[in-house]
């Protein structure tokens, strides 16, 4: 295994495939009840524009196979997505609901995914720790945030074990997507003693 490294253009297809395995996209891709090509959507509107904020974990023992993907950056640093090229149905269904979330400026984990045959081997933890280190380097000590499918109980347990807490919820307008939970670093919140002092 190697370190988490910056993704390169030749990793885009693997990044998209990995993101398609995560809770909300897995459901949407499998059901495709909205009639969208989610792989094409992710490639064009999310992964390619955010390649500078994308990272991969390579398995050097298996020919540098991508075994993990991470997309993260300070929230305000994400390149704005050009939604004008996207259908109004997609904008309303995928983008608008997130405007209701109260996401303060933080270091945002947009995607974290591990290939199925490598799950439960510490790779998710490695990717999460890499995001924490990047957050610290960017001045966001203990100030991480992410959105996770509210139905992804395994992912929610994982993020709780990494010190994240649920902070808000948003319902999606596309039926293929479950509600999302906004999660934040637990240490970012004031303790009872701090509030009362």
Q: Mean pLDDT in the chain?
A: 77
DSSP 8-class letter at 190: P
Q: What is the dihedral of CA 127, 154, 25, 14, to 10 degrees?
A: 30
Q: Is 35 left (phi over 0), alpha (psi -120 to 50) or beta?
A: left
pLDDT of residue 120: 93
Q: Is the pLDDT of residue 54 over 70?
A: yes
Task: Give the bridge partners for 184, in sequence order.
Answer: 145, 165
Contact by Cβ (8 Å): 119, 150: no
For 4-76+89-196, CATH gives 3.40.630.30
The token duo for 62 is: 């298996």
Taking residues 5-18, report their average pLDDT. 90
72 strand-pairing partners: 109
Helix-strand-coil split of the chain, %, nearest 5 = 45, 25, 30
Task: Parse the chain into domains and list their residue ranges.
Answer: 4-76+89-196
- Res. 113 pLDDT band, cuts 50 70 90: very high
The model's pLDDT over 39-49, given as tens digits with 9 standing for 90+, comes to 777 777 677 77
């Amino acid at each position: 295994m190697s370190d988490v490294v910056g993704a390169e253009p030749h990793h885009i297809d693997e990044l998209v495939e990995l993101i398609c395995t995560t809770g909300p996209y897995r459901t949407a891709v499998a059901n495709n009840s909205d009639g969208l090509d989610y792989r094409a959507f992710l490639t064009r509107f999310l992964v390619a524009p955010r390649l500078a904020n994308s990272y991969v974990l390579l398995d050097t023992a298996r020919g540098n196979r991508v075994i993990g993907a991470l997309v993260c950056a300070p929230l305000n640093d994400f390149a704005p997505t050009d939604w004008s090229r996207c259908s109004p149905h997609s904008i309303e269904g995928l983008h608008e609901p997130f405007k209701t979330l109260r996401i303060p400026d933080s270091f945002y984990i947009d995607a974290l995914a591990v290939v199925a045959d490598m799950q439960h081997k510490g790779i998710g933890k490695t990717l999460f720790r890499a995001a924490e280190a990047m957050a610290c380097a960017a001045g966001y000590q203990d100030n991480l945030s992410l959105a996770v499918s509210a139905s992804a109980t395994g992912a929610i347990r994982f993020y709780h074990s990494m010190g994240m807490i649920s902070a808000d919820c948003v319902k999606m307008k596309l039926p293929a997507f479950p509600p999302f939970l906004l999660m934040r670093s637990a240490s970012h919140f004031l303790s009872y003693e701090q509030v009362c002092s």
